[in-house]
């Protein structure tokens, strides 16, 4: 019986070690919010459908001391439903001149056909902004 207890203790120790190692690996390989947002933009850019929309506003906001974030707020219609969304374009500053984006500016919107509320105006390889 003493050896059975040792065997169970060994199995429990190995199991705990595996769980701890898996948790450490998962934390190390977790994607940052910026990586997830870039992947979202690239996915919509690849599979998205295009519709017309308009810029509603451009805002610069301070986010918890991490610097200013630039938001492009836009609206569009899909199948008779009106959508209003915003996109953080801070990482794409080199591709967009926010000073030329004004309220009422016509733009093209790419949206996910399975979830029309998931949309973009600009990505690394596409822009819907018109001059």
Counting the structural domains of the chain, the total is 2
**21 and 84 both lie in a single domain:** no
- 2-54: per-residue pLDDT in tens? 788 788 778 888 888 888 887 777 777 788 988 999 999 999 999 999 999 99
CA 53, CA 82: separation in Å to the nearest integer? Answer: 10
**37 and 18 both lie in a single domain:** no
**60 and 116 both lie in a single domain:** yes
Whether 48 contacts 110, CB under 8 Å: yes
How many other CB atoms sit within 10 Å of the CB of residue 72? 24
Name the least confident of 10-24, 48-62, 103-117: 10-24
**24 and 4 both lie in a single domain:** yes
**102 and 81 both lie in a single domain:** yes
Q: Which residue matches tokens 């519709």?
A: 51
The fraction of the chain above a pLDDT of 70, given in percent, is 97
**40 and 100 both lie in a single domain:** yes
**8 and 40 both lie in a single domain:** no
**43 and 22 both lie in a single domain:** no
**91 and 56 both lie in a single domain:** yes
Confidence bin at 56 (pLDDT 50/70/90): very high
Q: In 1-131, which ranges are E strands?
A: 49-62, 68-78, 81-88, 106-112, 115-120, 122-123, 126-127
Q: Domain containing 103: what range?
A: 33-127
Give the per-residue pLDDT at 1: 64
**What angle is formed at CA 89 by the lines to CA 83 and CA 93, rounded to 5 degrees?**
145
Give the per-residue pLDDT at 29: 77
The model's pTM: 0.74
């Amino acid at each position: 019986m003493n050896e059975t207890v040792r065997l169970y203790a060994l199995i429990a120790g190995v199991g705990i070690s595996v769980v701890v190692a898996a948790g450490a690996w998962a934390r190390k390989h977790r994607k940052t919010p910026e990586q997830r947002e870039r992947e979202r933009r690239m996915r919509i850019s690849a599979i998205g459908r295009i519709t017309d929309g308009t810029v509603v506003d451009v805002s610069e906001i301070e986010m918890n001391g991490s610097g200013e974030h630039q938001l492009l707020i836009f609206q569009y219609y899909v199948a008779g439903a009106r959508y209003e969304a915003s996109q953080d374009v801070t990482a794409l500053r080199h591709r967009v001149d926010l000073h030329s984006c004004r309220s009422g500016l016509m733009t093209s919107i790419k949206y996910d056909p399975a979830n029309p509320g998931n949309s973009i105006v600009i990505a690394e390889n596409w822009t819907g902004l018109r001059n």
